[in-house]
Amino acid sequence: MNLVYALIGPPFCGKSTIARELTKHGVAEIVSHTTRPARPGELEGVDYYFIDRETFVNTELVEKVTYSGNFYGLGKKEVMTKLEKNPVCVVDVDRNGFDQLKKLLGRRVVSVFILIDEATIIDRVIEQGGNPDAVQERINYAKAAGEFDNWQIADHVVKNTGTLENAVLQVLAIMKLVDIRPIAPPPRE
C-alpha cells in the first residue's frame, strides 16, 4: 500500500526543510498551490505551484488556508497522482491539512510530528537573520491554536533540536527506508 507521510508541527520546526531533504533520498514530495508570487530561488512545481486566484478557486483542494492575504492549498489531483505513482510520499501540512488528508486517504496517511522547543526556534531564526519579534508573534499564535500539542495525535514524533541530518534519518527510519542501528562499541581489550 502506497503511503503519504504528513509532517506536522509548529511553525519553524523544520517541516519543509525535512521534506525537501527527503526528496534527496527518493521520497516524492506532494507540492502545494499558492497565489503568492515566487520568491527568488523558488521553483514552479518544486517549492509550490504558483497560480492566480481564479485558478486557485477553481482547483479541487483537499485543504486550504490563507496567510498574509495569500491562498495556500493542497490539490486533490496532486495528492492522488503522487500517491498512485510513488510507494512513499511526504507532505508538509498543518493540523487541518492532516485531518483533511486523513478523511480522503484513511490508513494511507501516517503523521509525523516534528517536535521542537521555542528556544531552539528563536535561536535558529536569529542565526538565519530573521526577525525574532515576528517569530515570537507567530509562536504565540501557534501556542494559542495548539500547534505545539499536535504530537498527541501523531503516529510518530521526531525531535528536531539536533542536526538536520539526524531528523531526516529518523523520518527515513519511520518510513522504513533506512535501517538505523546503534553503533556497537569497540571490543574491550
Residue ranges of the alpha helices (H) in 40-108? 53-57, 76-85, 95-105
**Is residue 189 included in any domain, yes or no?**
no
Task: Tell me whether residue 186 is in a domain.
Answer: no
Which band of pLDDT confidence, cut at 50, 70 and 90, is reported for residue 183? low
Q: Which residues contact 107 (CB under 8 A, 6 or more apart)?
A: 1
pLDDT tens figures, 1-34: 999 999 999 988 999 999 999 999 999 999 999 9
- pLDDT for 112 equals 98
pLDDT tens digits, one per residue of 41-100: 999 999 999 999 999 999 999 999 888 899 999 999 999 999 999 999 999 998 899 999
pLDDT-derived band at 188 (thresholds 50, 70, 90) equals low
Q: 10 Å Cβ neighbour count for 172? A: 20
Nearest to 8 by CA among 82, 129, 90: 90
The number of folded domains in the chain is 1
Which cell numbers hold the place of 129? 537573520
Q: Within a domain: residue 169?
A: yes
Q: Could you read off the pLDDT of 160-172 as tens digits, one per residue?
A: 999 999 999 999 9
CATH number at residue 31: 3.40.50.300
Quickly tell me which residue has 510530528 as its cell: 113
Domain holding 68, by residue range, is 3-174
Q: Which residue has the higher pLDDT, 53 or 185?
A: 53
This prediction has a pTM of 0.88
